[in-house]
Structure 1
Amino acid sequence: MSIAYFWSRSLLGNRGFLWLLLWCNLLGTVYGYYWYAEQMEYTVANNPFWQVIFVPDSPTASLFFTIAVYTLLYPPRTKFGYGFRLLIEALAVVTSVKYGIWAVSIIFAGYAQGSPLVWQDWMLVLSHSAMAIEALLYVRLFKLGETMLIPAVAWTFLNDTVDYTYGVFPWLPVQLMDDIASVQYFTFGLTLFSALLAWLVIRQARR
C-alpha cells in the first residue's frame, strides 16, 4: 500500500472513514466548548450577551468542519441546502486552518517566554494541527468555490475584530499578556494567510 493512500480520495471519501472523522470532530467540538466554559461564563457575566458567540473560536471551527463532513455523508437536495453546504465548507476550511495554526503558535510563543508545556498543551498541539491538515485535505471533496471564501473571511475578520475590540479573545498564557498588540496583528494576519492558502488549495484542487 502506497503512503499516498492515506490522503487519497478513496480513503477520505470512504463512508466508514467519514463517520469516524465526524465522531472524532464532534467529540472534539464538545470538549472544546467545555474547555471554554469558564471564559464563556465570565463573558456572559461581564459583557453583553451577544459577545459570547465569539469566545470559543476553535470549537466553532471544529463544529463547522463536523457539519461539512455530515453534508458529505448526506448531501442536501435543495438549493438552500446546497448554498448552506458551500458556506459551511468555506467556513470550515478558513477557520480550521486559521485556528489550528493560531493555537499551536500561541502555545509555543508562550513556551518561548517561560510558560511550561504540560500534557494538555501537547494534546492541543496535536488536535489543532489535525484541524488545519484535515481542512486542507478535504478541499478536494468539498464543493465550495473561491467565491464562498468571501463570506467566510468576512466572518473570521469580524470574529477577530470583536475579540480584540471587546477583549473576548481566547485567554492567553500569562507570559503573553504584555504582547496583546503583537498577538492581535498576528491573528488578523493569520486570517488573511488562511484565506489565501485556502484559495490556492481550491484552485489547485479544481485543476
Structure 2
Amino acid sequence: MPRKPNTEARRGEIVRALQSVMAKHGYEKATIQAIAKEAGLAPGLLHYHFSSKQEILVSLVTALADYGQRRFEQIAGTAQSPMERLTAYMEARLGLGDGAAPEVVAAWVMIGAEAVRQAEVREVYQRTIATELELLSALLANCLSEHKRATTGARELAAALLAMMEGAYQLASATNGVMPAGYAAQSALRFAKLSLDATALESGA
C-alpha cells in the first residue's frame, strides 16, 4: 500500500519557499510558479496544499511568529532574572548571533506591507503583534516589579519598543550595510533600561 504523503512537511516546504522568494524578489514577484520552483515542486502540488498564494502568506506569518518564539525560548533558557529574560528577548528579535536570519527579516517587512493591503493577512499580522505586545509588556512589568517600580506604563513602553523593532527591520531590509552592525539590539535594550530607570517608584516603596 503506498505511503501517504507527509502533508505538514510539504506545506512547510512551500511556506519556506515563499519566504525565500519574497526575501529575494518581493511578494508581487512571488508567483506560484516561482514558489514551486524554489520548493522543487510542480505548481499543481502547491494548489493541492494551498488554495491561493495569500493562504501561503498567512501560513508564513504564523511560521515566522513561531520561529521568533522558539529563538527567544532558546536564548532565555538559562536566564535567571527578569532583566536577563528581557535581554534574551531583545537578542532573539534583534541580535545577530546564532539563529539570526536576514531572510526572515526581509520577509517580515513585506508581510507588514501586505497586511496594509489584505484584510486576511492583516488579521493574522495583528494577532501576532498583539501576542508580541503582551509578551514584551509582561517582561517589562517583571523588570519593574523587581525594582519596586510602578508597572502601569509597561504596555506603553512595550509598544514603543515594538515600533522601534519594526523600524529596525525596515532599515535592515531597505538599507543593507548603512546602519551600524549590531546596533539594534543594543540600542533597544539601552532605551528599555533608561525608561525602566526613569519610572517612578511604587507608592510606599
TM-score (norm 2): 0.36
Q: Which has the higher helix share?
A: 1
TM-score (norm 1): 0.36
Higher CA-based Rg:
2
Structure having greater relative contact order (Cα 8 Å, sep ≥ 6): 1
